[in-house]
Amino acid sequence: MRIGAVNWDCSLPPNTFFGSYFAKTLSFKKWRARVPYYADIISEDNVCCHLRTADEFDVELQYAIDANIDYFAYVWHTDDKTAKPDPDVKTSVTWPHAWTQDYARKLHRKSALNKRIKLCAILLCSQPYVESDYASLAEEMKEEYYEKIDGRPLVYLFGGYRTDVIDILRGFREKYNTAEPYIAFMNNGVESPDGDYSRADAVSAYNCSGNRKNIATYAELLDEQIADNEDRKKYGINIIPSFTVGWNPLPRIETVVPWVSYRQLIYSERASASELEAGMKKLAAWIRENRVHVKVDHILTFAWNEFEEGGYICPTYREDGSIDGSLVDAFAKAAEILRSESGGK
């Protein structure tokens, strides 16, 4: 069983667009447990990130390896520094700054650890990718460090079943001489199960759609996640099950960011070590019972580093300034449970 983890790295210096919002949302001391271990604590209510070196990033990769994570699914951004916002697309405010978020992924591909923890792409279907973006992705797909399913480079599509993007990816084999991409579209809800989805290879999700109702405990959130995986059977294609370690965007509700909004709901806390192991045991049972729908041994976890949204395995600070890596150990144990009990290879 291959275990992927979503990686959307906004841990950038405060003089960058995303780094400034990271500092604004997480500087308050009450969010100290969400601040990654590599951030700089300037004062009690002031934290920020610096631009990490390759050696510093390798420490983070080793933490992920220790957590039994096999690959990071990086949100892939356009390198086009001339991209302009579209007034009809809310997320387009990020487009001129999108390229800065690929910093971690570019460190990963150069790391000596990239054979022990691989990477793949999550394409944001709303982003204005240009030809050079696709050409660069195609070249990375040929590398040993790029995650593959039966020799086919894995790519997730954030934004639903987008046939225009699927058509572009299906053309990679002829245009760029890649293996046929293995395409999994992401649908965080299951409100549109009717239709023909056969042009994709699989369906998955970025996270649990816990934004729908009040969810007070991690156990409730996990039940919602299992139900979402169950409902995806309706698409009639393979399922790459999703697994969440938490969903609680309160920092961004209290300090608003311009590219996304959240409902005023009750949100659960991140999973404890025991809850995480119990949750993975439950997912393993669901996979074992639904092997006809789960035909490849992959899951995708939310998330490695969604600190502001409450889904993270990466070590963070405790209130006393020490580093809390407990979820790395807990996730490693949970991963072993999944591999031994899911009925896979």
Indicate the DSSP class of residue 238. Answer: E
Q: Is residue 328 part of a domain?
A: yes
Query: How many whole angstroms separate alpha carbon 187 and alpha carbon 300?
Result: 13
| pLDDT value of position 191 | 47
Burial call 293-330: b when 16+ CB within 10 Å, e when fewer: bbebbbbbbbbbbbbbbbbbbbbbbeeeeeeebebbeb
Q: Is residue 40 part of a domain?
A: no
Q: Which residues contact 331 (CB under 8 A, 6 or more apart)?
A: 67, 68, 69, 245, 276, 301, 313
| pLDDT value of position 151 | 98
How large is the angle between the packed helices 218-231 and 273-289, nearest 10 degrees? 20
CATH of residue 169: 3.20.20.70
Tally of domains within the chain: 1
| pLDDT value of position 160 | 82
**Tokens (6 digits) for 307:** 């600190």
Please write the tens of the pLDDT for every residue from 212-221.
789 989 999 9
| pLDDT value of position 88 | 81
Query: How many whole angstroms separate alpha carbon 316 and alpha carbon 49?
Result: 13
| pLDDT value of position 87 | 81
Among the listed residues 314, 309, 313, 208, the one whose alpha carbon sits nearest the alpha carbon of residue 252: 309
**What is the rounded (10 degree) CA torsion for 290, 340, 61, 223?**
40
| pLDDT value of position 103 | 96
Among the listed residues 260, 268, 213, the one whose alpha carbon sits nearest the alpha carbon of residue 244: 268
Query: What range does the domain containing 192 cover?
Result: 2-12+54-341
Q: Is residue 59 part of a domain?
A: yes
Answer whether the bond into residue 303 is a cis peptide, omega within 30°: yes
DSSP E strands, 138-215: 148-149, 152-158, 182-186, 202-204
CA-to-CA dists, residue 237 to 91, 95, 189, angstroms: 29, 32, 16
| pLDDT value of position 192 | 59
| pLDDT value of position 189 | 57
Taking 70 as the pLDDT cut, the residues of the chain under it are: 188-194, 209-211, 345
Asked whether the whole model's pTM tops 0.75, one would answer yes
| pLDDT value of position 43 | 94
Q: Is residue 23 part of a domain?
A: no
Q: Is residue 26 part of a domain?
A: no
| pLDDT value of position 210 | 58
Please write the tens of the pLDDT for every residue from 43-68.
999 999 999 999 999 999 999 999 99
Given a contact cutoff of 8 angstroms between Cβ atoms, the answer to whether 130 and 78 are in contact is yes
Q: Is residue 21 part of a domain?
A: no
DSSP E strands, 71-111: 71-76
Q: Is residue 230 part of a domain?
A: yes
| pLDDT value of position 159 | 85
Q: Is residue 34 part of a domain?
A: no
Identity of the amino acid at 50: H
Place of tokens 């790295």: 9
